[in-house]
Amino acid sequence: MTQLMTHLNETVNFIKSKVSETASTAIILGSGLGNLATKIKVDFEIPYTAIPHFPVSTVEGHKGRLILGILNGKKVWVMEGRFHFYEGYTPEQVTYPVRVLKLLGVENLLLSNAAGGVNANYAVGDLMILKDHISLFTINPLIGKNESDLGTRFPDMSEPYADLFIQKAKAIAALNGITLHEGVYVGVTGPTFETRAEYKLIKAVGGDVVGMSTVQENIAAVHCGMKVFAISVVTDLGIREDNNVITHEEVLEAANAAEPKLTLIFSELLKEIA
């Protein structure tokens, strides 16, 4: 057995020794989007630092926890905090929790993220469903020996985000009067926000938003046969007449403000699919 599979099995056995139940759906919460966790009736929670083989944070004050609980009447795993490539984690570390969730029995993965808009029709605070992504600017997490216990060498990526979930989310949004765009997320490494020329490039290659997470997790999830759904909160606009500057603070503030809409869509979607 490869070292990756050995580690995954040890992590999964450890979690199973702590909690006997599992859930078919997991949610990974993006930057500034952690408020959903407060809506959960928690059955079990554990800090990432206490989970064997979970990536070890080198960043001061980095918090993160894995939760199993009830949201909107349904059992769900929630990862409060994710691992980003720009923090120095390898693509294998970034995607490690996704594979752990798969081996815990998770079939559906719901992802949220903060992203910069480049589509002229988008405003700060809008939500966008990912119907597709472009990952050419990030390192593919499947590079290296294929882990055939998880999936195939050359995974099909024609439907990286499950159409069924997209249709359900659109119906939920319409019912609740929430404007929901559907578009293409361009994954970048960060940690710099983009230059003005880069935002224009991202728009020119077909992107609607740009962000520093999600695509590697999506690839690992598709590889091991999970159905994925993802939403971006547009936290800033890369292409504007007024030559704006972008700060992490405004990104977090916009994410926080839009968070209730996202929580509503995730919890209603969970009710339908779990």
Q: Which of 92, 194, 217, 268 binds ligand HPA (CB under 6 A)?
A: 194
Distance, in Å, from the CA atom of 162 to the CA atom of 160, rounded to the nearest integer, reads 6
Contact flags string 113-152 toward ligand HPA, x per CB under 6 A? -xxx------------------------------------
Q: What is the largest CA-CA distance in the chain?
A: 56
Beta-carbon contacts of residue 95 (< 8 Å; ≥ 6 apart): 141, 216, 217, 219, 220
Where does this chain touch ligand HPA (CB under 6 A) — which range of 59-67, 85-93, 158-166, 209-217? 209-217
Q: Which of 80, 92, 208, 236 binds ligand HPA (CB under 6 A)?
A: 236
Q: How far is the CB of 241 from ligand HPA (least distance, A)?
A: 17
Contact flags string 78-117 toward ligand HPA, x per CB under 6 A? ------------------------------------xxx-
Residue 210 or 221 having the CB closest to ligand HPA: 210
Distance, in Å, from the CA atom of 116 to the CA atom of 114, rounded to the nearest integer, reads 7
Distance, in Å, from the CA atom of 147 to the CA atom of 153, rounded to the nearest integer, reads 8
> Which tokens sit at 60?
């001061």
**Nearest partner of 218 among 268, 269, 264, 157, judged by Cα:** 157
Residues in touch with ligand HPA (CB under 6 A): 114-116, 188, 190, 193-194, 210-212, 235-236, 238, 246, 251
